[in-house]
Amino acid sequence: MEADELLVLVAGGDQKAFEELYGLVSGPVFGLVRRVVRDPAQSEEVSQEVLLELWRSAGRFDPGRGSALSWVLTLAHRRAVDRVRSARAAGEREQREARRTHGPAFDHVAEEVEAGMEREWVRRCLDRLTALQRQSVTLAYYDGYTYREVAERLSLPLGTVKTRMRDGLTQLRKCLGGVA
């Protein structure tokens, strides 16, 4: 069954449907959260929070407004970004240190799902962006920086960053269009 249908069943309290949905979305959710949050323990905690929120709030999904997967991943991304920002606010330096210590071991343990083709395509398409488009998009999406922070890091005016983000995403769409 597709995620969209499953989510509707989950909204009706169907735990079996949730198990199936878990199988479909837990990899992307965990992968995305881990990419943004980095710290393994926190990534797991945020992912669990997201998946539980999925169960609790499935009734809020409106199939008329986009796919279930994009709903789920948007929720996951929002939560991951919230976490990484509050962690940064709590102590930027400490966090960086923690990441350096935990990062490699965790990467070693983590098993990558067979998302090979999509992964390869995204990589290729990212490579085709201009450096500024790519950095603007990835610093925001993968590292959880606000566009103001991105502008600061890249020493660019705010307007330029907004445009690069937009162009970057549109270019990605053109490039990825064929493999959806």
Partner 1 sequence: MRLFRREDLHSLAAPYALDALEPAERVRFEKHLRTCEACNAEVRALTEDAVRLAWSTATRPPAAMRDRVLAAVRATPQVPAPAREHARERTPNLPPHVWGAQPPPGRSRAPRERRPFFVPFATATAAAALVVASLFAVQANQTQDKLDAAQAQSREIAHVLAAPDARASTGKDTQGRSIGVVASAEEGGAVVTLSGYDDLPSDRVHQLWLMRPDEQPRSLGLFKGDTPLVASGLDTSATSLAVTVEPDGGSPQPTSQPIVQLALKSVGFGE
- Cα dihedral angle (130, 73, 115, 171), rounded to 10 degrees? -20
Residue 155 DSSP SS3: coil
Q: How far is the CB of 128 from partner 1 (least distance, A)?
A: 14
Taking Cα atoms as reference points, which of 85, 90, 89 lies closest to residue 38?
85
Our finding on whether 154 is near partner 1 (CB under 8 A) is no
Our finding on whether 118 is near partner 1 (CB under 8 A) is yes
CA atoms of 31 and 80, how far apart (whole Å): 11
| CB closer to partner 1, 8 vs 132 | 8
In the window 62-101, what residues touch partner 1 (CB under 8 A)? 62, 64-67, 69-71, 73-78, 81
Our finding on whether 147 is near partner 1 (CB under 8 A) is yes
In the window 26-65, what residues touch partner 1 (CB under 8 A)? 26-32, 34-35, 41, 44-49, 51-53, 55-60, 62, 64-65
Q: Return the half-sphere exposure (C-beta side, CA atoms, 13 A cut-off) of residue 67.
A: 7
CA atoms of 100 and 86, how far apart (whole Å): 18
113, 130, 152, 157: which one binds partner 1 (CB under 8 A): 113
108, 111, 127, 155: which one binds partner 1 (CB under 8 A): 111
